[in-house]
Amino acid sequence: MIDYKSSGVDIDAGNEVVARIKDLARGTFTPGVLSEIGSFGGVFSVDPERADGTVLVASADGVGTKLKVAFLADRHETIGEDLVNHCVNDILVQGARPLFFLDYFATGRLSPDVAVAVVSGLARACRANGCALLGGETAEMPGFYAEGEYDLAGFIVGQVPRARLIDGRRIVPGDKLIGLPSSGLHTNGYSLARRIVFDTLKLSVGATLPGLGITVADALLAPHRSYLPVIGPLLDADLVKGMAHITGGGITENLPRVLPEGTGARVDRGAWDVPALFQLLGEAGQVPDEDMRRTFNMGMGLIVVTAAADVPRALEALAGQGETGARVIGEIEPGARAVRYAPARP
C-alpha cells in the first residue's frame, strides 16, 4: 500500500505551516488587503475606501514534480502551459481575469533550447488566456540543480470589480455543486503517481500504460487546462456563488476553502466516472480511497457552487462554450467546513 505521505509529500505538515505563518503575514497587512492567507489568490484594493472600485487578485505557484516527467521524456513545450493555466484558475475562482504573468526559471546550467521551449509554452498559454507575459527571472545556479534539471514558478495578477469578487459568502445550504472535468492529473499528485508508475509498475516514460493505450509521457504530461473560457459566461451572468480549483489536497482539502462558516459539502461519489488513469494509479499502488481523494483531482478539476434554481442556466451556459462534461456532483449542507462523500449510486 502506497500513500502520498510515504511518497514524500505531507499534506498535514503543509497545512500546519500555513496555519503557523498566518500571523506573520497578517502582521504585514495594509488597509488594501481584502483576503486572508489560505485563499486561492490574495486580494488587494488600491483604493480600499471605494466599494465600487476594481481589486487586484494575485497568486504564485509552481509545477511540482511533474517536471521530473518532463526531464525523463525530454519534453518541455507544455510545462509552461501547466504553470500559466494553474495560476489563471487560482485567481479565476475569485472572479478575476488575468492581467499579466511573471515567471521564474532556475537551472544549474542553462540550455537555450530547453529554456526557449519552456517559455514558448508560457507565451502560448498567456495568449490563450488574454494575459501579458510581462517578464520574469532566468537564474543560472551551478551546483544547485542536478544536470539537465530546472525549476519553474509563476506569479499572476488579475482584476475584478470589487462588487463581483467571489468569496463564498453567499453560499447557503441547498446550493448545488457543478463539477468540471480535468484533463488529467493537472499539476498535483506527481510524487505519488511517479512512485506508482516508475517504481511499482516499473514502466519507462515511453512505455504504454496498461489498459489506457497511451504512453506514460502522454498521460502524465497532459497539460493542466484553463477554465477561464468556459467559466467567463457564468461570471457575466452572475451564476457563481463560489468556486474551488481542485489542486493539491484534492476535493477534500480545496472545496472547504471556499465555504462560509456553518456550511459543509456533500459530494456524490457516483456522480461521475473516475477516469481510467486514476483507477490505474489507485489499484496498482493499492492507495486507500481517502488518500486518492486527498491527493488527486479524480477527474474533476474545478467545482462551481451555484443556486439550485440556477443549475439549468449554468449547465446551458457551459454547454454553449463546449463544456459537455459538466454535471451536478453534490450540494451544500449545514455543518462544519468539510467534505462528506456520499456512497456511490448502485
Residue 18 lies in a domain: no
| Residues 189 and 131 occupy one common structural domain | no
Quick check: 245 pLDDT over 80?
yes
Residue 287 lies in a domain: yes
| Residues 160 and 189 occupy one common structural domain | no
Residue 25 lies in a domain: no
End residue of a domain, out of 113, 139, 164: 164
| Residues 299 and 231 occupy one common structural domain | yes
Residue 220 lies in a domain: yes
| Residues 115 and 220 occupy one common structural domain | no
| Segment 207-228 mean pLDDT | 97
End residue of a domain, out of 164, 189, 217: 164
pTM: 0.93
| Residues 185 and 324 occupy one common structural domain | yes
Residue 119 lies in domain? 31-164
Q: What percent of the chain clears pLDDT 90, i.e. is strictly above it?
A: 85
CATH number, position 51: 3.30.1330.10
Contact of 58 with 42, CB cutoff 8 Å? yes
Give the lowest-confidence range in 8-22, 42-56, 192-206: 8-22
| Residues 112 and 258 occupy one common structural domain | no
Residue 98 lies in a domain: yes
| Residues 323 and 225 occupy one common structural domain | yes
Q: So what's the pLDDT on residue 346?
A: 47
CATH number, position 326: 3.90.650.10
- pLDDT tens sequence across 112-122: 999 999 999 99
Residue 20 lies in a domain: no
| Residues 159 and 228 occupy one common structural domain | no
What domain count does the chain have?
A: 2
Quick check: 281 pLDDT over 80?
yes
Q: So what's the pLDDT on residue 37?
A: 75
| Residues 181 and 160 occupy one common structural domain | no
- pLDDT tens sequence across 61-99: 999 999 999 999 999 999 999 999 999 999 999 999 999
| Residues 288 and 150 occupy one common structural domain | no
| Residues 93 and 185 occupy one common structural domain | no
Q: So what's the pLDDT on residue 345?
A: 56
Residue 5 lies in a domain: no
**Torsion from C-alpha of 186, 189, 193, 199, nearest 10 degrees:** 140
Residue 17 lies in a domain: no
End residue of a domain, out of 110, 138, 164: 164
| Residues 139 and 180 occupy one common structural domain | no
- pLDDT tens sequence across 304-342: 999 999 999 999 999 999 999 999 999 999 999 999 999
